[in-house]
Structure 1
Amino acid sequence: MQITSNSFRDGGRLPDACAFAVASPAGRVRPGPNRNPHIAWSDPPVGTRSFVLTMYCPDAPHRWHDANRHGRTLSPDMPRVPFHHWILIDLSPRLREIKEGRHSAGITNRGKAGPSAPEAGARHGMNDFTILFLEDRARIGDYYGYDGPCPPWNDSIFHRYIFTIHALDIPRLAVVGPINSTSTLLAMTGHVLGQASMVGGYSLNPALLGTN
């Protein structure tokens, strides 16, 4: 099974077009275009009855207290946790690509509606901006679908974003409760026939810009 993209190369930098936040000459950051990247896949295993597409960053800080604060730097040795940016389930076994911008073409304050997705029968899960903004009265909401990279601008590491297409042996995922990373991964257990991944990187740290 293979996964490719016309939006970025495997191991390369994700384009600003796909980011939730981009570097700004006038300040640290500004809102980004937040377009989902193009993702394509091929050669699924025999018996595939649906696909699940996920995107997550394994490099999110365990605590955000010092994130985006002047005079502070997030150490490369600090604990890191996964942050899920995109969960798309129940994709047709005949589907082979998601076009750039089809699932997101901007930032929706308080989150995109869900779980219905553009593809017939497909469902979006809530990404982890839902959790990140729980205490932000201006942005709290259920963030369904794709929302792109927004790493702290004072983080000392280049964040990785892992896109994975999973081939399943069932036509519809039996998710219990809200559709999010936890419920999706649990429902997938024992049903994955194969998968393929690719990685893009992103940073808003001025010291790291242009290093990848």
Structure 2
Amino acid sequence: MKLQVRGIEEGQPIPEKFAFGVYSEEDHMSFGPNRNPEITWEDAPEGTKSFVVMMFDPDVPSVADDVNQEGKTVSKDLPRVDFFHWLLVDIPANVNRIPEGEDSDGVSPKGKDHGPGPIGVRGVNNYTQFLAGNPDMAGTYAGYDGPCPPWNDEIIHHYQFEVHALDVESLGLEGEFDGNDVRQAMKGHVLDSARVTGTYTLNPDLR
């Protein structure tokens, strides 16, 4: 399979229009346009009955104590974990494109609805946990929400856009399912996959 993420070249920085957070000299970070990029895929194998689209960041600090704290940095030596930014399942086999802005166009305080969306079924991304302690933003975040890595992180983050062709029409996931639920449900059903990786940082020393 081949995957194209329009505006994002392999290994290159992700444009700010696709980001949840953009660099700000005054406050380190301000909200970005948060539009999902257009993605297209082709050459799905015979027998494909549905697709899964996901985007995740494998470079998120496993301990958040120093995240976005003045006078501190998030060490490059800290163990990292996956943070899911976009989960769409049960995308019909006759679909091979998601237009820019179709699943997100702006930051939605308190999140977007999970369940059936414009294309496929939306899973819950990890902003749900990340913003849980913020009374203005806390909620259930589903669909696409773009990059917003810690502005004091010593490493550049890598964002993996993936499409998976499956041999089932539905993964049978309901409610507030997350990235780990999707990975578990996909096991044994993936016919082929493709990936594009973009980078992003809010650390002025790395920009």
Question: Normalization by structure 2: what TM-score?
Answer: 0.97
Runs of 4+ in structure 1 displaced over 6 angstroms?
A: none
Match of 2:105 in 1: 105
Which residue number in structure 1 is paired with residue 41 of structure 2? 41
Task: Tell me which moved more, 42-51 or 21-30.
Answer: 21-30
Contact preservation (8 Å) 2:123, 2:142: yes
Q: Aligned partners of 1:78, 1:162: CA distance in 2, in Å?
A: 20
Residue equivalent to 2:132: 134
**Aligned twin of 2:87:** 87
Amino acid at match of 1:106: G
CA distance in 2, matches of 1:205, 1:37: 23
The code of the aligned residue for 1:172 comes to: S
Please give the alpha-carbon distance, in whole angstroms, between the structure 1 residues aligned to 2:136 and 2:112.
15
Question: Map of 1:151-190 to 2, 5 A cutoff?
Answer: 151-175=149-173, 178-190=176-188
In the alignment of these two chains, the number of paired residues is: 207
Contact 1:177 1:183 in 2 (8 A): no
Question: What secondary structure, in the 3-state scheme, does the structure 2 residue paired with 1:187 have?
Answer: helix
**Could you say what secondary structure the match of 1:161 adopts?**
strand
SS in 1 for 2:116: coil
Consecutive unaligned residues in structure 2, runs of 5 or more: none
The residue matched to 1:156 in structure 2 has which SS? coil
Aligned to 1:117: 117
Does the Cα contact within 8 Å between 1:7 and 1:100 map onto a contact in 2? Answer: no
How far the C-alpha of 1:167 sits from its partner, in A, is 0.2
Quote the offset at 1:176 in angstroms: 6.1
The answer as to whether partners of 2:114 and 2:176 remain within 8 angstroms in 1 is no
**1:2-17 correspondence runs (5 A):** 2-17=2-17
Q: Deviations over 1:53-90 (max 9, x none)?
A: 00000000011110111111111111111000000011
1:161-205 CA distance string (max 9 Å, x none): 001100000011122653211211111111111100010000000
- Overall identity of the aligned pairs, in %: 42
- Whichever residue aligns with residue 112 of structure 2, its letter is K
Q: Tell me the distance in 2 between the aligned counterparts of 1:154 and 1:39.
A: 30
CA distance in 2, matches of 1:68, 1:28: 9
Question: How far apart are the structure 1 equivalents of 2:14 and 2:98?
Answer: 16
Contact 1:11 1:201 in 2 (8 A): yes
